[in-house]
Amino acid sequence: MNKIIIYILVFIGFSLFLQGCVPFPKDVKASGHSLEIYPEYQNVAVPYNIAPLNFLLRNEGVDAIYVRIKGLSDSLIINNRGNKATFPLKSWHSLLKKEKGHLLKITVIARVNGGWLQYPSFEWRIIGEPLDAYISYRLIEPGYEVWNKLQIRERCIENFKETVIADNNLADGQCMNCHIYGGNNGDLSLFHIRGKSGGTILNRKGILRKLNLKTDRMISPAIYGSIHPSGRLGVFSTNIIIPAFHTLANRRLEVYDTVSDLVVADFDNNRIITSPLVTQTESLETFPTFSSDGRWVYFCSAPKVNLPDSIKNLRYSLCRIRFDQKKMKWGNSIDTIWNARLMKHSVCFPKVSPDGRFILYTVADYGTFPIWHRETDLQMMDLNTRQINDLRAVNSDRSDTYHSWSSNSHWFAFASKRGDGQYGRIYFAYIDSKGKAYKPFVLPQSDPENDDLNLKSYNIPELTRTPVQFNAMDIERIVKKSNVENFKE
């Protein structure tokens, strides 16, 4: 009986093998066309711990594919029906670990109308510095007007495992936004849930608290923010935000502040700390972030203009102010390190690299909602020399924004609409020890057709070394059953 079962299993396995494989290519001819693949993974730099870069051929007439990845010491070959190149996880990681610091040569041969064609080869540069293993993001409608069907998910970049860590269908349909992490640590994070039973959900070592980060003197609850390296403090903007639709055909949604200030929240003592320097009535302050050593708060600031009539004149500078954790006190002066009046553009979303060397930010023509500004690009400043890198190798002709650093300061993630101009996808870019940036690549999928079929945008990608210790059910419980903790000044 056991032998019969074995024979059946062998037969089934052999049948599946025949269905998935095709004959070895013979009489191969050079193709007269360039190789068209999605994702566009040609000649990119990738970390050795990334999941397989599965791709599909978009050249017409392809019904079988043969791909060879050749390194200095080893190779990986796949031979499949259809137009998709999908690589086995174990063999993939084995090859990339062996080839750290080297170039891999990828050769693609496809069967088209019964004949085999070889396309021009391309390369992958395998980087020895790893990318943080986890990334979190909001999945949201691309127009950002519909927020009652959204999730915050966490994905392991080393494989394709994805977990839902918050779902607003389990939180009475309330909006969830602004998820952030401290120190690239899954044990230190927060995000906001808006609504009558909502609050700021703070996660420290898996212990969840629901906070009301709003006092009578604040103009709104906490919105955009950053967590101090100690984990004890958070710096936030408080904003009155107005959405508006453009009448111009090439513009869609605009969002702007009518009032905005900055505050620091002390999570241990439920206290809000303010300063007149960052709550000025004649200016708008937003997008605060702590430096990697926690001694500075970087933020964006703009003089008030008549809105919405003068929206194109609303331009934010990049500024910083000291914060003394021991004295729990803001500094007494503000330093402008990127002047919007001189640059004639507007800056937002500053993020300091974990090693303190660089600050990464986005630049648009005006305003603070660049996701629908096609001209939005990433820039990077060396904080030691104030030299600006325009990141030409990274940017596209579409919006590139919502970025976060990997913990080793050699990688960053960002959201880009370069694919079709509508849906945001997550890309990763490498920065070498000299500050040189390399061509980015999109988050790999187990099925390379997933991005075509997924009608949601990836919003605010955040990299962490470790996963969070809670899930969507835990968030549901704390929203519905826990009392909110109030703060005072």
Instruction: Break the chain into its structural domains and give their ranges.
Output: 23-127, 134-485
pLDDT tens string 391-405: 999 999 998 999 999
Could you tell me if 212 and 193 are in contact, meaning their C-beta atoms sit under 8 angstroms apart? no
For residue 387, give the DSSP letter.
-
β-strand partners of 362:
348, 378
Is a pLDDT exceeding 80 seen at residue 265?
Answer: yes
pLDDT of residue 24: 76
- Please tell me the distance from the alpha carbon of residue 180 to that of residue 459, in angstroms, as a whole number: 12
Query: Which of 24-28, 238-242, 431-435 is predicted most confidently?
Result: 431-435
pLDDT tens string 73-132: 889 999 989 999 999 999 999 999 999 999 999 999 999 999 999 999 999 999 999 999
- Please tell me the distance from the alpha carbon of residue 257 to that of residue 9, in angstroms, as a whole number: 65
- Please tell me the distance from the alpha carbon of residue 71 to that of residue 121, in angstroms, as a whole number: 13
For residue 202, what are its two tokens?
């703070």
Instruction: Give strand ranges (E) for 194-345.
Output: 199-204, 207-212, 225-227, 233-245, 253-266, 271-273, 283-290, 296-303, 317-324, 329-338
Could you tell me if 302 and 310 are in contact, meaning their C-beta atoms sit under 8 angstroms apart? no
Q: Would you place residue 13 in the very low, low, confident or very high pLDDT band (cuts 50, 70, 90)?
A: very low
Residue 15 phi/psi, 5° resolution?
A: -65, -45
- Domain 134-485: give its CATH code: 2.120.10.30
Residues near 424 by Cβ (< 8 Å), separated by ≥ 6?
142, 371, 399, 402, 415, 416, 417, 457, 458, 459
More confident residue, 483 or 455: 483
Average pLDDT over residues 154-177: 89
β-strand partners of 285:
301
Average pLDDT over residues 430-459: 93
pLDDT of residue 18: 37
Q: Would you place residue 244 in the very low, low, confident or very high pLDDT band (cuts 50, 70, 90)?
A: low
- From the list 473, 464, 457, the residue with the least C-alpha distance to 156 is 464
Is a pLDDT exceeding 80 seen at residue 185?
Answer: yes
More confident residue, 18 or 335: 335
Q: Would you place residue 451 in the very low, low, confident or very high pLDDT band (cuts 50, 70, 90)?
A: confident
**Cα angle value 248/252/253 (rounded, 5°):** 125
**Cα angle value 247/253/255 (rounded, 5°):** 120
Is a pLDDT exceeding 70 seen at residue 327?
Answer: yes
Is a pLDDT exceeding 60 seen at residue 236?
Answer: yes
Could you tell me if 126 and 100 are in contact, meaning their C-beta atoms sit under 8 angstroms apart? yes
**Cα angle value 315/318/319 (rounded, 5°):** 125
Q: Give the gyration radius of the chain's Cα atoms.
A: 25
- Please tell me the distance from the alpha carbon of residue 43 to that of residue 267, in angstroms, as a whole number: 46
- From the list 408, 353, 358, 360, the residue with the least C-alpha distance to 132 is 408
Average pLDDT, the chain: 90
- From the list 284, 311, 313, 312, the residue with the least C-alpha distance to 300 is 284
pTM of the model: 0.91
Residue 12 phi/psi, 5° resolution?
A: -65, -45
Is a pLDDT exceeding 50 seen at residue 339?
Answer: yes
Average pLDDT over residues 302-325: 93
Burial class (CB in 10 A: 0-12, 13-18, 19+), 101: exposed
Is a pLDDT exceeding 60 seen at residue 249?
Answer: no
3-state secondary structure of 80: strand
Could you tell me if 56 and 448 are in contact, meaning their C-beta atoms sit under 8 angstroms apart? yes
Could you tell me if 369 and 314 are in contact, meaning their C-beta atoms sit under 8 angstroms apart? no
Torsion angle, CA of 218/224/227/228, rounded to 10 degrees?
Answer: -60
Q: Would you place residue 173 in the very low, low, confident or very high pLDDT band (cuts 50, 70, 90)?
A: confident
Residue reference for tokens 């998709």: 84
β-strand partners of 127:
47
Is a pLDDT exceeding 70 seen at residue 22?
Answer: no
- Domain 23-127: give its CATH code: 2.60.40.1220
Of 12-21, 141-150, 214-223, 353-362, the one with minimum mean pLDDT is 12-21
For residue 169, what are its two tokens?
């269908």
Is a pLDDT exceeding 80 seen at residue 152?
Answer: yes
Could you tell me if 382 and 389 are in contact, meaning their C-beta atoms sit under 8 angstroms apart? yes
3-state secondary structure of 78: strand
pLDDT tens string 32-63: 899 999 999 999 999 999 999 999 999 999 99
